[in-house]
Amino acid sequence: MICRTCAVEHSQDLPPRCHICADERQYLPPGGQQWVSLAQLANEGQRTGVGELEAGLVEIHTTPGVGIGQRSKLVCTPAGNLMWDPPGFIDDAGVEAVRSYGAVVAIVASHPHMFGVQVEWSRALDNAPVLVARADLGWVARHDPIIEPWSGDLDVLPGVTLTQPGGHFPGSAIAHWGAGAGGRGVLLTGDTVLPNPDRASVSFMRSYPNRIPLSAAVVDRVTTQLERFEFDRIYGNFADFVDSDARTILRRSADRHIGWVQGDFDHLT
């Protein structure tokens, strides 16, 4: 069963409320908790589609959209593929499309809001391991032996490194793909670092729907950890991205955020 609001899969022993949506970072709609099955979503017209963002990077999306509506990514390498921020819906056409790009060797969500139907995707993709940040294991609502905890930095594939700067959640993760952007490097950030609509800045928040900011210290910590990597492009978990000069934009955006929360720009308010 799936929570309609966040599209995270749950075991059949359902709680009164999805604990992910009951948390201050998410929300339950005015109508309250609603559960739905994959079969119901399919009957309602939900479909999976894919499209190439650049050489070696595929976007997986759902139409008309389920839950938070993340745009998942498939990083394709000669050693296998990484599914990042798995969708909250799955169908045969989507599985076939993903398989057409090669074997998926790991499924990873950037944070609990993006767990989607990760176990279902694993079962459809030859039981690819589902890697969950150890710090966020308590948010898993559907336990399965296929789930493996991880922490720190992890080279999940040659040239693809997972790291956990935290922020949005203690285990919030980012994937660095060194071969992306024509060899200049790509970060897949979920919404740990969210590209803004201007595509020239990024945001850092504890909660986006409820507008809870992160502190100056945490934003600096996240940014400093990511500056260890070489990258020129950032993809978030929605449509917006930073196409170039992303490393400079990340630091400039962090300094802006830090200045505002410290009161440096109060004279403008």
pLDDT digits (tens, 9 = 90+) for 12-23: 899 999 999 999
Kindly calculate the radius of gyration of the chain based on its CA atoms and give it in whole angstroms. Answer: 18
Q: Could you tell me the pTM of the whole model?
A: 0.97
Q: Label residue 228 by pLDDT band (50, 70, 90).
A: very high
pLDDT in the model for residue 58: 98
- Domain span at residue 37 reads 2-268
- Residue 141's CATH number: 3.60.15.10
How many domains are there within the chain? 1
What pLDDT is recorded for position 223?
98
Q: Exposed, middle or buried, 116 (CB in 10 Å: 0-12/13-18/19+)?
A: buried
Q: Which residue has the tokens 């599914």?
A: 83
- 9 contact partners, CB below 8 Å, separation of at least 6: 1, 2, 88, 115, 116, 117, 118, 119, 120, 141, 142
Distance (Å, rounded) from C-alpha 93 to C-alpha 50?
Answer: 10
Distances (CA, A) of 94 to 28, 91, 97: 28, 5, 5
Burial of 183: CB neighbours in 10 Å, binned 0-12, 13-18, 19+: exposed
